[in-house]
Amino acid sequence: MKIAFFDAKPYDRPSFDAFAAERDMTIKYYETKLNEDTAGLAAGADAVCVFVNDTVNAAVIDRLAELSVKVILLRCAGFNNVDIRHAKEKKIPVLRVPAYSPYAVAEHTMALLLTSIRRIHKAFLRTRDYNFSLSGLTGFDLHGRTVGVIGTGRIGRAFINICRGFGMNVLCYDKFPAPDLDNGDTIRYVTLDELFAQSDIISLHCPLTEETYHIIDEVSLAKCKRRVVILNTSRGALVDAEALLAAIKDRHVGAACLDVYEEESDVFFEDNSGHILDDDTLARLISMPNVIVTSHQAFLTEEALSNIADTTTANLAEYLKNGTCANEVSI
Ligand code: NAD
């Protein structure tokens, strides 16, 4: 079984090579992303393996069908970059990795929050320059603060557990609330408007859908507490970046930590140092002292990489054996 692996990075290979060998699969790695221009590279492959910023639209799926590609393997949980309906019409199953390490993303979210509010990113640079001044580094305690968590699935829950360890109160919003999570006291489901009004910190852990697109925008930001901290480790387009920037400039938003960005596919995962950044909104956000940007790094732990490679190759093996796979994306 041959896999054409797009958007390959050096950190992908060791775990994929190991699991592919175990399951008698061969992988051809391409550094380029999958899109209409590169789909031809899948000629001769039985499956393509793609990540979050590959383009798997109708035109790409048509081309893959022409090339007799039988399976689309997503080595990620989200599938907003795939035209699932069209893949279904073309009878190409889309298999994903629903969970690989919710802890990786949840822990990165807390790392960003602590870095931001305790000014670690500033202190790190200062002490490297033997500047031991504390001026401007005052933070605030998380203990007793209220965090609003939008999306209480695997990652949301892992993040809630971490927040509870810090003695924070948790307000949750989910389209499908989990009854066992709400303890009527320190963890409570509320309406989205209540969450916006009462949270000191808001963390996004829901998928990107038509409903959640720009869930953080000018209107919702206006409902938030002054000095609110916005955390987004889910998907970039959950946040209207222009509106966020405006609210930061107004001093309404106290800080923002972004592991994802709406237009990230043009810049994230690549070394753009030495280049002039065309995206003025991203450049302005990065220039802010109270904004931290990481480039879709939250998943990147040894455990997650191993689980991703294991599940991706197991998905293909299961599909080949049974003609079905429990991790097929359905609509
Ligand atoms: P999950 O499916 O376990 O949980 C998602 C939760 O969102 C569910 O409880 C669901 O009911 C809820 N939800 C669905 N629609 C909603 C809506 N309209 N409003 C509010 N909540 C809604 O998924 P997960 O494993 O917890 O992952 C969450 C998201 O994290 C993924 O969709 C993905 O976008 C993102 N993610 C990011 C990284 C990263 O590296 N930054 C890695 C993995 C996943």
Q: Given strand 146-150, what is the order of strands in its sheet?
A: 187-189, 169-173, 146-150, 201-204, 228-232, 253-258, 291-293
226 an active-site residue?
no
Which listed residue (227, 296, 302, 328) is catalytic? 296
Atom of ligand 1 nearest to the CA of 155: 26
Same domain, 310 and 225: no
pLDDT on residue 267: 86
Same domain, 259 and 181: yes
pLDDT of 299 higher than 80: yes
Q: What is the CATH number of the domain that holds 43?
A: 3.40.50.720
100 pocket-lining for ligand 1 (C-beta < 6 Å): no
Q: Using 50, 70 and 90 to split pLDDT, how confident is the model at 265?
A: confident
Quick one: what percent of the chain has pLDDT higher than 70? 100
Domain that holds residue 142: 102-293
Strand partners, 231: 203, 257
pLDDT of 280 higher than 90: yes
Residue 277 gets the label, from left (phi > 0), alpha (psi -120 to 50) or beta, of beta
- Are the C-beta atoms of 70 and 95 separated by less than 8 Å? no
- Are the C-beta atoms of 129 and 154 separated by less than 8 Å? no
Quick one: what percent of the chain has pLDDT higher than 90? 95
Residue 230: burial class (beta carbons within 10 Å; 0-12, 13-18, 19+): buried
- The 10s digit of each residue's pLDDT in 98-144 is 999 999 999 999 999 999 999 999 999 999 999 999 999 999 999 99
Which listed residue (154, 264, 284, 302) is catalytic? 264
Query: What DSSP character marks residue 209?
Result: -
Same domain, 34 and 137: no
- Name residue, tokens 């808001």: 202
- The 10s digit of each residue's pLDDT in 184-219 is 999 999 999 999 999 999 999 999 999 999 999 999
Same domain, 115 and 73: no
pLDDT of 269 higher than 90: no
Same domain, 217 and 250: yes
205 an active-site residue?
no
Same domain, 44 and 125: no
Residue 41 within any structural domain of the chain: yes
- The 10s digit of each residue's pLDDT in 19-72 is 999 999 999 999 999 999 999 999 999 999 999 989 999 999 999 999 999 999
pLDDT on residue 92: 98
CA 149/CA 197 separation, integer angstroms: 13
Residue 287 within any structural domain of the chain: yes
- Are the C-beta atoms of 254 and 228 separated by less than 8 Å? yes
Mean of the per-residue pLDDT values for the chain? 96
Same domain, 227 and 115: yes
Atom of ligand 1 nearest to the CA of 153: 4
Query: What DSSP character marks residue 239?
Result: B
Residue 82 within any structural domain of the chain: yes
- Are the C-beta atoms of 265 and 290 separated by less than 8 Å? no
pLDDT-wise least confident of 137-146, 203-212, 269-278, 289-298: 269-278
150 CA to centre of ligand 1 in angstroms: 9
Residue 329 within any structural domain of the chain: no
CB-based contacts of 189: which residues, under 8 Å, 6+ apart? 152, 171, 172, 173, 174, 177, 181, 182
pLDDT on residue 266: 78
Same domain, 96 and 120: no
pLDDT of 221 higher than 90: yes
Domain tally for the chain? Answer: 2
pLDDT on residue 270: 84
Pocket test for ligand 1, best of 96, 159, 171, 174 (most atoms within 8 A of CB): 174
Same domain, 117 and 229: yes
Same domain, 230 and 253: yes
pLDDT of 331 higher than 80: no
